[in-house]
């Protein structure tokens, strides 16, 4: 199972909005609405930010939103803040009943 494709890096100024894409196939992202997004700060475990394409766990800021079109999912961070600087990974359930992660995107707040 190949990793889902994400841009290596995305940057934005405080207050701006950025969008991270996550491209898979008809066997994963395109097959189910089971796409999730994780934020990871250095030395920390990943933290769930979005599940089921667009839902936020309790406690996650509404500045984070998700969407999907076909085999490409997206994470948008609006009102970018310094604390949002981290690595972001998408993940999808697959038609083989396994899970696959994206290649990861480093978000830099300028």
The residues pairing with 12 across neighbouring beta strands, listed in sequence order, are: 109
Alpha carbons 61 and 76: distance in angstroms, whole number: 12
HSE, side-chain direction, 13 A CA sphere, residue 32: 17
Residues from 29 through 48 that contact another protein (CB under 8 A): 32, 34, 36, 38, 45-48
Compare residues 57 and 79 and give the one whose CB is closer to another protein. 57
Site string for another protein, 81-100 (x = CB under 8 A): --------x-x-x---xxxx
Compare residues 13 and 95 and give the one whose CB is closer to another protein. 95
- Cβ at position 83, least distance to another protein in Å: 19
Nearest to 62 by CA among 47, 76, 48: 76
Compare residues 12 and 46 and give the one whose CB is closer to another protein. 46
Contact between 24 and another protein (CB under 8 A)? no
Alpha carbons 71 and 40: distance in angstroms, whole number: 24
The residues pairing with 5 across neighbouring beta strands, listed in sequence order, are: 23
- Cβ at position 78, least distance to another protein in Å: 22
């Amino acid at each position: 199972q190949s990793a889902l494709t994400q841009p290596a890096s995305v940057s934005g100024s405080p207050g701006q909005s950025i969008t991270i894409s996550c491209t898979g196939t008809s066997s994963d992202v395109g097959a189910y609405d089971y796409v999730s997004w994780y934020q990871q700060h250095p030395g920390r475990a990943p933290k769930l930010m979005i599940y089921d394409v667009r839902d936020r766990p309790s406690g996650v800021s509404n500045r984070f939103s998700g969407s999907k079109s076909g085999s490409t999912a997206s994470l948008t961070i609006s009102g970018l803040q310094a604390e949002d600087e981290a690595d972001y990974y998408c993940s999808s359930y697959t038609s083989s009943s396994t899970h696959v992660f994206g290649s990861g995107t480093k978000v830099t707040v300028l």
